[in-house]
Amino acid sequence: MSTTTDIGSARTLPDDVVIAARGIGKTYGHVRALHDVSFELRRGEVVAVFGDNGAGKSTLAKCLCGVETPDSGHIEINAQRVELNSIRDAERYGITSAHQDLALAPDLSVLENMFLGRELIRSGWRGWLRMLARGAMAAKSEVALAELQIKLPSVRVQVGALSGGQKQAVAVARAAMWSRTGILMDEPTAALGTRQSDVVCELIRSTADRGLGVMVISHDIPRVLAVADRIVVLLHGSVALRAASRDVTGRDIVDAMVGYHMQAEGS
C-alpha cells in the first residue's frame, strides 16, 4: 500500500476549495487506475500533478472533467457534492479543460475557435438565417486574450497559421473565457520549444492570478514546479506526495515518482 507524504503548506491563499476529489477510485478491468485519491484545488492557485506514465494523472483529470465516472468516492464543486457524467456537466459547473491535442480547428479563425460550439447568433431576421455575430465574437475574444496578455496578429487569422505556442495560448484563453471555477490542463508544454514553454507557463500563472483554480498535468517538472503553488505526485494510482512547491525540489518529485517516499518531518 502506498504511503502519502505531506510536506509544508502553500503560499497564503483563501480557504476556497473550488474542486475536490474525495477518495476517488477507478478501475479498468483488472487495472487499478486510481485508489483512494483525494485532491483539492483552490481558487487562485496552480496545482501541478506529476507521475510516471500510467500513474493515474490523466484518469484523475478525466474524472474531474466528466469524461470518466469514478467507481468510488465522490467529487465536490464549491463544497457541494456533484455527479459529473459528461464534459457538459463539468462545464455547467464552470470547469473547462485544455488538452494536449488542443482540440482546435486549424482551418477556422481564432475567434471561431474561441466560440466553437458556443457561437453567438445575430439578432433580428439575421438570426433566423443563423448568421454569426462575428463582431461581438471578435470583441469578446480580444478581451479574453488581452486579460491573459496574449498577443496575436489578429483574432481573424486562421489557427493553422499560428506557432505551437500561440495555438496553446488560444486553447488556454478559450478555456479561461468559459471557466468560472477551474481549468484542467494536460501536458500544456508538450512538443513546444523552450521559449514557447516559458510563455505557456507564464500564461498558467496569470490564469490562476485571475482567480481560477488551475490543475496542470506535466512531465516538465522544473518549469511547471516554478509556477505551481502546490504539487501532487501519483504513483500506481495513489497519492505518493503532497507538498508546497517551495518545499520540494525536482529530485524530491522524481524520487516520489519512482517510490522513494520522502519522510515527513518528525516521522
- pLDDT tens profile 18-34: 999 999 999 999 999 99
Please name every residue paired with 47 in a beta bridge, in sequence order, or none if there are none: 215, 230
d(CA 8, CA 264): 9
For residue 178, what are the contacts with CB-CB under 8 A and spacing of at least 6? 91, 96, 118
Please tell me whether residues 167 and 232 are part of one structural domain: no
Give the tens place of pLDDT for each residue, 179-215.
999 999 988 888 778 888 888 888 899 999 989 999 9
Please tell me whether residues 189 and 83 are part of one structural domain: yes
Please tell me whether residues 38 and 77 are part of one structural domain: yes
Percent of the chain with pLDDT over 70: 87
Please tell me whether residues 88 and 191 are part of one structural domain: yes
Q: What's the rounded mean pLDDT across residues 95-111?
A: 85
> So what's the pLDDT on residue 5?
66
Question: Does the pLDDT of residue 164 top 90, yes or no?
Answer: no
Please tell me whether residues 2 and 89 are part of one structural domain: yes
Q: At which residue does the C-alpha cell 499560428 appear? A: 162
- Whether 149 and 63 have beta carbons less than 8 Å apart is answered as no
Domain range for 138: 102-178
**The model's pTM:** 0.84
Please tell me whether residues 243 and 264 are part of one structural domain: yes
Mean pLDDT of the chain: 87
Question: Which residues in 153-188 are b (16+ Cβ under 10 Å) and which e?
Answer: eebeeebeebebbbbbbbbbbbbbbbbebbbbbbbb
Q: What's the rounded mean pLDDT across residues 148-152?
A: 87
Please tell me whether residues 89 and 5 are part of one structural domain: yes
Please tell me whether residues 115 and 81 are part of one structural domain: no
Among 72-81, 100-109, 133-142, 252-261, the range scoring the smallest mean pLDDT is: 100-109
Give 264's pLDDT tier (boundaries 50, 70, 90): very low
Please tell me whether residues 85 and 111 are part of one structural domain: no
SS3 category, 136:
helix
d(CA 247, CA 219): 19
Give the tens place of pLDDT for each residue, 206-251.
999 989 999 999 999 999 999 999 999 999 999 999 999 999 999 9
* Number of structural domains found in the chain: 2
* 234, three cell numbers: 501519483
Choosing from 131, 156, 178, the residue where a domain stops is: 178
* 168, three cell numbers: 496553446
Order across the sheet with 80-82: list the strands.
31-42, 17-28, 72-77, 80-82
CA atoms within 13 A on the CB side of 3: 9
> So what's the pLDDT on residue 194?
85
Q: What's the rounded mean pLDDT across residues 162-166?
A: 87
> So what's the pLDDT on residue 116?
87
Looking up residue 255, the CATH number of its domain turns out to be 3.40.50.300
Choosing from 178, 205, 232, the residue where a domain stops is: 178
Please tell me whether residues 173 and 208 are part of one structural domain: no
Choosing from 126, 154, 178, the residue where a domain stops is: 178
> So what's the pLDDT on residue 125?
63
